[in-house]
Amino acid sequence: MQKPQGNNAGGRHVGSRISLDNTQIKLIALVLMFIDHAGATLLPYGSMAWTLTRTLGRLSFPLYAYLTAQGIKYTHNIRAYAKRLLIYAFLSEIPFDLAFFGRILVHVHQNVFFTLALSAAAFWAYREKCYIRDRWTLATCIAFAGILAQFLHSDYGIAGVFLIGALVCADGNRRFMMAAALCFLFEKSSWIANGFIGRAAASMALMAAWMWVTSMDNGRPGDKKWRKWFYVAYPAHLAALWMLRVATANI
């Protein structure tokens, strides 16, 4: 299914005064991810700079979840889409392990592409392998993918799969999307602020920023020639951060 021009999935139509296409949202997510990973790998844990970069970077996965949900909804071939994500999951694992752990074949944490691939696989299984297609069957497929992500220790785990699943099922319903993003951010913001009120405030601020960016989605896919480079950017930036980590460690 081709993503329609002027799709209102993000809350705006083509022609709005301020709008972002798919490629531009990917670029924002990529920059935030780099900030997050640079802070995690290069800065002292718990420092003010570390906290700032990790907080800003917390928006990257919800944006990628939004983009993955759009991909699941509008791809012509969901099997090929899930397969492509899985291929990059394996290609990214060694750079991921080197950047974050300084060694390869670390089994305690896998890269985020596994979470994205499992989310797409859940909808592939539902659409093409399930004889009964109702909300309970879909919920079972998403739950199984989430449990598998948690078992594999993939980045964001079951919470990440559930967020993507909720965004697909929301089908453009802004209130449902807001609730899903808020629940995810609350779960993943425990280190930003202490106590329920602090976490809730931080989560709501991040959710508002996420909603602002996604509300500017104009429904256009953007320049397709950049698509593969966004995939390549993930293992490439991890390899670069690993090299920087090694270089700074020897200074």
Q: Each residue of 101-131: pLDDT tens digit? A: 999 888 899 999 999 999 999 999 999 888 7
Structure tokens belonging to residue 71: 């991909």
pLDDT for residue 130: 81
pLDDT for residue 251: 59
DSSP assignments along 84-120, one per residue: HHHHHHHHHHHHHHHHHHSSS---S-B-HHHHHHHHH
pLDDT for residue 249: 77
SS3 (DSSP) at 17: coil
pLDDT band at 214 (very low <50, low <70, confident <90, very high): very high
> What confidence tens digit (pLDDT) does each residue in 142-196 have?
999 999 999 999 999 999 999 999 999 998 899 999 999 999 999 887 767 777 8
pLDDT band at 92 (very low <50, low <70, confident <90, very high): very high
pLDDT for residue 6: 44
% of the chain residues with pLDDT over 70? 92
> What confidence tens digit (pLDDT) does each residue in 187-200 have?
887 767 777 888 88
Q: Calculate mean pLDDT across residues 205-214.
A: 94
CB 97 within 8 A of CB 105: yes
Structure tokens belonging to residue 88: 């990059």
CB 168 within 8 A of CB 161: no
pLDDT for residue 9: 45
Tell me the Ramachandran region of residue 223: left when phi exceeds 0, alpha when psi lies from -120 to 50, beta otherwise.
Answer: beta
pLDDT band at 36 (very low <50, low <70, confident <90, very high): very high
158-194 CB burial, b ≥16 within 10 A, e <16: bbbbbbbbbbbbbeeeeeebbebbbbbbbebbeebee
In whole angstroms, give the CA distance from residue 117 to residue 98: 21
Instruction: Compute, in degrees rounded to 10, the torsion defined by CA atoms 44, 46, 48, 54.
Output: 90
If you ran DSSP here, which 8-state letter would residue 134 be given? S
